[in-house]
Amino acid sequence: MSLATELSPPLAARGSWASPGRLLMLVFVWLAATAAWRPLMLPDEGRYVGVAWEMLQRGELLTPTLDGLPYFHKPPLMYWITAAAMKLAGPTGWAMRAAPLLGAMAMVLALWCAVAGASPAGSARRREAALAVALLVTTPFVFLGAQYADCDMLVAGALSLAVACARRAFERHETAARRWIVAAWVAAAFAVLAKGLIGVVLPALVLLPWLAATRRWRGILALLDPLALALFLLIAAPWFVLAQQAHPGFVDYFVVEQHFRRFTQTSFNNREPFWFYFAVLPLAMLPAALWLPAAAGRLRRAWRRAGAHADTVFAAWWIAAVLLFFSAPASKLVGYVLPAAAPVAWLLTR
């Protein structure tokens, strides 16, 4: 019996809160209620919001600037969202943290899609999904990440949505599968606009080994759907092309320096040992992480029963892929592993 089944009677009695629309509304109120209670933290929040403020003041959306100089450390999605929010609501705390709040809501939606799956309304899996969401948004890691004005939660939400939609594609018939694959590539496009090539690389590291392990070779080809790829390029590519045209050194700095050199070299800041995230993630997911021993037992039983096809095994691999990818470079920040938060909540809920 899963934890969701044991704890679901209260949810069953109030079944309306297990509906995705009302649950998302409740979660947004929970995450946004305290988002404006504290000033921006320096240097990161001040820097990212400052770039968005300059973009808004100049009325120019192509080139992010900091103190008037081009600032191409990250793509512009976070700046665009923040600038648009400040345009509508002024420089309030909620507007300045609109991007991480949206990222957190994308992560919640991804978790709902992953856990509820294709089950009908009112089923036990939907109640389990509601419990997983509650567990996710009450961990300090996610609650604080949703209120911290940088790119980490935004890209984590888009990445989580890309993985969840792609996996959902293989639960349904052929027509619906294509719709979910298109949704996955659209989410990946926004992940690229949030933080770069990781928007494609990380979902591929999660999905391709799993498809191979479950011998869904046609699924790998199905991911290369022409419509999905066209929409991905339509959303993600224009800014990069225009930025290179306006700034001829952009590709070398953004792709070579901020991606490949940052990943392979040890000269960047925040150097930590390989095991850093394996120690930090359980602490960051407290108190939910107290269920990890039980989850490990469930994982072993799921592997013996269904192998790589089991939901629990997929969630565990999703976590492992994120941890291994971000553990490889020497430069590490806690927020980098936010893409592992949703599968951790999924695994623990089981």
In the chain, beta strands by DSSP E: 65-66, 69-70
For residues 181 and 171, give the distance between their C-alpha atoms in angstroms, rounded to a whole number. 12
Closest CA relative to residue 132, chosen from 146, 156, 116: 116
Question: Is pLDDT of 2 > 90?
Answer: no
Give the pLDDT score at 13.
37
CB 194 within 8 A of CB 75: yes
Q: What is the pLDDT averaged over residues 79-97?
A: 94
Query: Phi and psi for 183 in degrees, rounded to 5?
Result: -60, -40
What number of other Cβ atoms are within 10 A of residue 123's Cβ?
A: 14
Helix H or strand E encompassing 105: helix 98-116
| Residue 5's pLDDT band (cuts 50, 70, 90) | very low
What number of other Cβ atoms are within 10 A of residue 54's Cβ?
A: 20
Burial group, residue 64, by CB count within 10 angstroms (0-12, 13-18, 19+): buried
| Residue 36's pLDDT band (cuts 50, 70, 90) | confident
Give the pLDDT score at 75.
94
Question: Is pLDDT of 164 > 60?
Answer: yes
Q: Maximum CA pair distance of the chain? A: 61
Q: pLDDT of 213-244, one tens digit each?
A: 988 888 888 999 999 999 999 999 999 999 99
For residues 153 and 164, give the distance between their C-alpha atoms in angstroms, rounded to a whole number. 16
Question: Is pLDDT of 308 > 50?
Answer: yes
Q: pLDDT of 21-33, one tens digit each?
A: 888 899 999 999 9
DSSP letters for 171-189 = GS-HHHHHHHHHHHHHHHH
* 3-class DSSP assignment, residue 331: strand
For residues 27 and 134, give the distance between their C-alpha atoms in angstroms, rounded to a whole number. 8
Question: Is pLDDT of 255 > 90?
Answer: no
DSSP letters for 312-327 = HHHHHHHHHHHHHHHH
Q: Return the ∠ at Cα 156 (arms to 150 and 159), rounded to 5°.
A: 140
Which of the pair, 96 or 39, is modelled with greater confidence?
96
Give the pLDDT score at 212.
92
Q: What is the pLDDT averaged over residues 236-254?
A: 89
Which of the pair, 175 or 187, is modelled with greater confidence?
187
Q: pLDDT of 98-149, one tens digit each?
A: 999 999 999 999 999 998 875 554 577 788 889 999 999 999 999 999 999 9
Instruction: Name the percent of the chain lying above pLDDT 90.
Output: 56
Torsion angle of alpha carbons 43, 48, 54, 57, nearest 10°?
-120
Give the pLDDT score at 14.
46
Q: pLDDT of 42-59, one tens digit each?
A: 888 999 999 999 999 999
Provide the 8-state DSSP code for 65.
E
Provide the 8-state DSSP code for 334.
G
**What's the first-to-final CA gap in the chain, in angstroms?**
9
Give the pLDDT score at 47.
93
| Residue 249's pLDDT band (cuts 50, 70, 90) | confident
CB 196 within 8 A of CB 258: yes
Q: What is the pLDDT averaged over residues 182-204?
A: 96
Q: Identify the bridge partners of residue 331 per DSSP, sorted by sequence position.
A: 271
Q: What is the pLDDT averaged over residues 73-87?
A: 95
Give the pLDDT score at 117.
73
Question: Is pLDDT of 326 > 60?
Answer: yes
In whole numbers, what is the pLDDT of the chain averaged over residues? 86
Q: What is the pTM of this model?
A: 0.90
Closest CA relative to residue 169, chosen from 178, 161, 156: 178
Give the pLDDT score at 272.
83
Give the pLDDT score at 331.
81
What 258-264 contacts at long range (C-beta under 8 Å, 24+ apart), as own/partner pairs, is 258/72, 258/73, 258/196, 259/196, 259/197, 262/329, 262/331, 263/328, 263/329, 264/329
